[in-house]
């Protein structure tokens, strides 16, 4: 009995020991058995489907692009729903047959669909999809849905299309969006991760794309062998883009755009005391909605091949001779360098000669303006007066003043604006392969020759006159609170005598108010008092013996018409620069637009 108990104890002890050593293996076996049962019984259908189709992939979820509003909350650009036909090449066995079938169903040219397919295949990964046809109508959608099950690798998706409400009126401000190109991906690798997302190509859409675009989400999908969606396994939502409020005043923009019908030209209107851009026009314009969702490629090609260059933004990239609108700045340079005084008079008989050169430099008025001082020279735009002071100033005396007002450099409004051109001796030698001559300086004195400026630069320069030397950086984004907004100062021109500002302003007021002023036709005693300057930019030199009337027979060779002004003078609210290409007379075609802009914006006056 005693031996039995001892033997029994021994056996139990060995069993416990064996169980202790085997427990880890038993635990692992239990887990494995549970996992096998889970995979085969509980989730068998799910993984059977996956094993058979092997079609699980991640799809990018496009964020909603932010809206664009004007300064007062008027909606300018939004997103509207359209239905597009998407294809996934990996699920299509015979692309030729599929495209032919779709061509018949959609009543669209086979060549167009084949072109879209070939282009799309090169851009996407194996199981990614891309739009083959955009903006399907109801009839096309119905036909596709009926045949959806019989055609592999296709589906109709609801997408958001960018839509500009005021179309041509805002085209050059807002710009347009488009598909991501391979060159853009090379410059920004992050764009490669975004599928079928459109980004800004020009204008505000491009400048503030990083704000408007948002961040895409990711959706994990399961699809069958035909590419049809089986189920959504996981979704990580997209982060929508933010809305943008512009400084643009849509009512002012609409009002001024009407003046540019059937005209080529540009306009920039901004507040001199803040730099806030209230209107910007480039004409001819275009409908950005054509490019926001390209449906008709022929229409797009026609747009880009248009000889009138409607896509080109003349307001910020058009470079023109400033002509006589430059004279106030040349005049300031002459006063500051004591080349002349305000009261000193020069005889203007219509011609200016340089010693040793028999060729005369002619003024715009054949018999001249008689004896003129600075004030009269500005009001009547005497060329001979400015030929004279430019000759005495020399390039070294003129250029620093023009530079201080921003000529020849970007204003800072956008990275996509042109620099303009403020020439010097080094520039001419490098680009023209020739030396700088006295005649070059004389032409510079009246804003002709090699100097070029954008309408935006002219508006900025005149804001410096309106502010008595202060120039603020222009901007498109509306401040949250205008009253507390502090504009960024980009220049402060100091003159030896502050009264010089007032004297120059009075001369610019005379341009409109005085009977001998070149823009007296727009004078209205019941309207806001405006200071400004006309300009007539000659685009073709007139050789001796040739009359301008012969030149103007070709409309493309006629002079450009300019006017830049600000007002009301007692408290400037708006500065406006206008150029009408081949418009000939600044006082006839450009000045009335400036007057209307200032009156409309300030209110209380007849804006017509």
> Annotated catalytic sites, by residue?
324
Rounded-to-integer distance, Cα 156 and Cα 265, Å: 43
Give helix 110-123 / helix 95-106 axis angle, nearest 10°: 130
Rounded-to-integer distance, Cα 366 and Cα 389, Å: 20
**How many C-beta atoms lie closer than 10 Å to residue 39's C-beta?**
13
Rounded-to-integer distance, Cα 267 and Cα 173, Å: 12
Strands 346-348, 370-372: pairing is antiparallel
Rounded-to-integer distance, Cα 268 and Cα 270, Å: 7
Of 250, 255, 312, residue with least CA distance to 284: 312
DSSP helix, strand, coil percent of the chain (3-state; round to 5): 45, 20, 35
Q: What is the DSSP letter of 63?
A: P
**How many C-beta atoms lie closer than 10 Å to residue 143's C-beta?**
16
- Cα 296-301-304 angle, rounded to 5 deg: 130
What phi, psi does 52 have (nearest 5°)? -75, -40
Rounded-to-integer distance, Cα 275 and Cα 284, Å: 25
Helices (H), 275-433: 289-292, 297-304, 314-317, 327-336, 374-380, 383-404, 425-431
Helices (H), 38-177: 44-53, 95-106, 110-123, 138-146, 171-174
What phi, psi does 387 have (nearest 5°)? -60, -45
Q: What is the DSSP letter of 414?
A: -
Q: Which residues contact 409 (CB under 8 A, 6 or more apart)?
A: 403, 419, 420, 422
Rounded-to-integer distance, Cα 279 and Cα 267, Å: 8
Contact 280, 268 (CB under 8 A): yes
Q: How far is CA 526 from CA 32, 60, 523, 529, 578, in A?
A: 94, 61, 9, 9, 23
Long-range contacts of range 52-55, CB-CB < 8 Å, 24 or more positions apart?
52/225, 53/222, 53/223, 53/224, 53/225, 53/230, 55/127, 55/222, 55/223, 55/224, 55/225, 55/227, 55/230
Tally the C-alpha atoms within 13 A of residue 216's C-alpha that lie toward its C-beta. 17
């Amino acid at each position: 009995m005693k031996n039995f108990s001892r033997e029994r104890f021994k056996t139990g002890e060995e069993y416990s020991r064996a169980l202790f050593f085997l427990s880890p293996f038993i635990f692992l076996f239990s887990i494995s058995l549970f996992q096998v049962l889970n995979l085969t019984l509980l989730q068998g259908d799910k993984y059977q489907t996956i094993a058979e189709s092997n079609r699980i992939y991640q799809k990018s979820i496009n964020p909603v692009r932010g809206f664009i509003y004007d300064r007062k909350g008027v909606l300018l650009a939004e997103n509207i729903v359209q239905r597009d036909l998407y294809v996934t090449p990996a699920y299509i066995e015979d692309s030729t047959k599929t495209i032919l079938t779709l061509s018949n169903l959609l009543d669209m040219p086979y060549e167009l669909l084949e072109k879209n397919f070939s282009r799309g295949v090169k851009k996407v990964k194996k199981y990614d999809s891309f739009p083959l046809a955009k903006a399907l109508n109801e009839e096309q959608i119905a036909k596709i849905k009926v045949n959806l099950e019989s055609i592999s690798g296709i589906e109709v998706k609801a997408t958001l299309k960018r839509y500009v409400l005021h179309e041509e009126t805002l085209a050059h401000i807002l710009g347009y969006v488009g598909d991501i190109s391979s060159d853009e991906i090379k410059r920004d690798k992050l764009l490669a991760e975004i599928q079928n997302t459109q980004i800004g190509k020009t204008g505000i859409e491009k400048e503030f794309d990083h704000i408007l675009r948002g961040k895409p989400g990711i959706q994990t999908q399961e699809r069958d062998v035909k590419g049809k969606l089986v189920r959504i396994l996981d979704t990580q939502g997209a982060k929508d883009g933010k809305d943008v409020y512009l400084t643009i005043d849509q009512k002012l923009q609409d009002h001024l755009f009407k003046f540019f019908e059937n005209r080529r030209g540009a306009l920039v209107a901004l507040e001199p005391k803040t730099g806030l851009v209230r209107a910007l026009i480039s004409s001819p314009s275009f409908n950005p909605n054509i490019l926001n969702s390209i449906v008709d490629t022929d229409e797009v090609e026609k747009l880009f091949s248009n000889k009138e260059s409607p896509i080109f933004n003349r307001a910020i990239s058009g470079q023109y001779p400033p002509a006589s609108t430059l004279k106030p700045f040349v005049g300031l340079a002459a006063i500051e360098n004591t080349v002349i005084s305000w009261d000193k008079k020069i005889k203007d008989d219509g011609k200016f000669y340089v010693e040793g050169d028999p060729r005369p430099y002619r003024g715009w008025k054949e018999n001249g303006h008689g004896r003129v001082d600075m004030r009269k020279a500005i009001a009547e735009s005497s060329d001979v007066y400015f030929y004279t002071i430019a000759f005495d100033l020399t390039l070294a005396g003129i250029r620093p003043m023009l530079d201080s007002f921003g000529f020849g450099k970007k204003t800072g409004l956008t990275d996509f604006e042109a620099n303009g051109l403020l020439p010097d001796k080094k520039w001419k030698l490098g680009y023209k392969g020739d030396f700088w001559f006295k005649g070059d300086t004389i032409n510079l004195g009246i804003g002709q020759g090699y100097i070029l400026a954008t309408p935006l630069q002219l508006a900025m320069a005149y804001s410096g006159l309106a502010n008595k030397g202060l120039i603020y950086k222009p901007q498109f984004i509306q401040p949250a609170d205008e009253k507390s907004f502090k504009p960024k100062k980009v220049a402060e021109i100091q003159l030896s005598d502050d009264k010089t500002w007032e004297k120059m302003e009075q001369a610019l007021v005379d341009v409109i108010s005085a009977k001998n002023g070149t823009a007296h036709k727009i004078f209205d005693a019941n309207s806001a008092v405006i200071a400004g300057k006309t300009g007539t930019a000659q685009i073709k030199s007139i050789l001796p013996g040739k009359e301008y009337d012969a030149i103007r027979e070709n409309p493309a060779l006629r002079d450009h018409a300019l006017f830049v002004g600000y007002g009301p003078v007692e408290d400037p609210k708006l500065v406006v620069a206008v150029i009408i290409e081949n418009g000939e007379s600044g006082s006839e075609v450009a000045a009335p637009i400036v007057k209307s802009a200032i009156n409309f914006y300030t209110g209380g006056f007849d804006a017509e």
